[in-house]
Structure 1
Amino acid sequence: MTADAALTGLADGWYALSVLHARIEAHIERALQAGHELSVREYSLLVVLSRQHDGQGGHLRMNQVADAVALSQSATTRLVTRLEDRGLLQRYLCPDDRRGIYTDVTASGLRLLDQARPTHDESLSGALRQAAADPELSALVAAVEALNASSVHGARTREYRPG
């Protein structure tokens, strides 16, 4: 295989991955908007922030939030502001560094996330089933499912601690 052929194959794989991502995101977006008036980005932000914990190192600064949801800092700030205006998030100054701003999910945000999670998960499963039927995407769907299987297995392994 020549270098050009290898790059073409790589580009084809990247294109297929982009198509799979776009299809899944659009499918989930429609379901979340219809059922919960949430965008995929808003849902993702609520998920990221809900995984924080209290105590040292348990909160994310805005730049960390931007990295976690794959948005620019300005887009993340607009997203946080929208959710804050809806009462789903709150921002506060870092107690140790007054220049730092933390963001937390409110009780209302956690309730909405709990309500939206089944919609998200069912939409994701449905989109993956549809994509698996496409011969150009089926290998990627299998790879995503394999990642899930290995992370579930890894979580079970980490939870087990022999006495």
Structure 2
Amino acid sequence: MTATDPALTALAQGWCALSLLHGRIEAHIERALQGQHDLSVREYSLLDVLSRQHDGEGGHLQMKQVADAVVLSQSATTRLVTRLEDRGLLERYLCPTDRRGIYTNVTRAGLALLEKARPTNDTALREALDAAAENPDLAPLVRTVETLKTSVPA
């Protein structure tokens, strides 16, 4: 394959379209969440992921799992957790069965903010997808996103 190979060019164009769609969606949601709730997309995602934890077997995530779920490095995730902990939205505690493990829970204030922010996130996502669907290059990707029913494992 050469740099001018049509298959490679098509692949690069597809990747550019996907990247463009992601960027537009994220930017639109970011503006909405920041403007109405003083939350970034990453902060919202972290609160959302952690709010789905439960007390059953495997119900609490380790920091690496959290980092994978919000698509950040472990160090960036730790900094994000610290920022939200400082705001009173998260709390950390030692794992009761393994004193080396530290878990993170969403506080009542964090759950309340998440509940208020969820409709904003959902509306902004719908708006961004609708706007992108008007672009012929992005419309097929939007249709694909709209048909996904479950999260794709990493």
Distance in 2 (CA, whole Å) between partners of 1:126 and 1:27 is 8
Shift of residue 129, structure 1, vs aligned partner: 0.5
Match of 1:155 in 2: none
SS for the counterpart of 2:16 is: helix
SS for the counterpart of 1:52 is: coil
Match of 1:29 in 2: 30
Distance in 2 (CA, whole Å) between partners of 1:59 and 1:119 is 26
SS for the counterpart of 1:35 is: helix
Q: Does 1:85 align with 2:86?
A: yes
Distance in 2 (CA, whole Å) between partners of 1:31 and 1:53 is 29
Shift of residue 54, structure 1, vs aligned partner: 1.1
> Greater helix share, 1 or 2?
1
Alignment of 1:84-103 (within 5 A): 84-103=85-104
SS for the counterpart of 2:5 is: helix
RMSD: 1.3
Alignment of 1:58-137 (within 5 A): 58-137=59-138
Deviations 1:9-43 (A, max 9, x none): 11111110000000000000000000000000000
Match of 1:160 in 2: none
TM-score, reference length from structure 2: 0.92
Distance in 1 (CA, whole Å) between partners of 2:127 and 2:137 is 17
SS for the counterpart of 1:116 is: helix
Shift of residue 4, structure 1, vs aligned partner: 2.0
Structure 2: where are the runs of 5+ without partners?
none
Matched letter for residue 50 of structure 2: L
Structure 1: where are the runs of 5+ without partners?
152-163
Distance in 2 (CA, whole Å) between partners of 1:101 and 1:4 is 50
Distance in 2 (CA, whole Å) between partners of 1:5 and 1:143 is 23
Poorly superposed stretches of 4+, deviation over 4 Å: none
Matched letter for residue 19 of structure 1: L
Q: Does 1:146 align with 2:154?
A: no
Alignment of 1:37-56 (within 5 A): 37-56=38-57
**Equivalenced residues, count:** 148
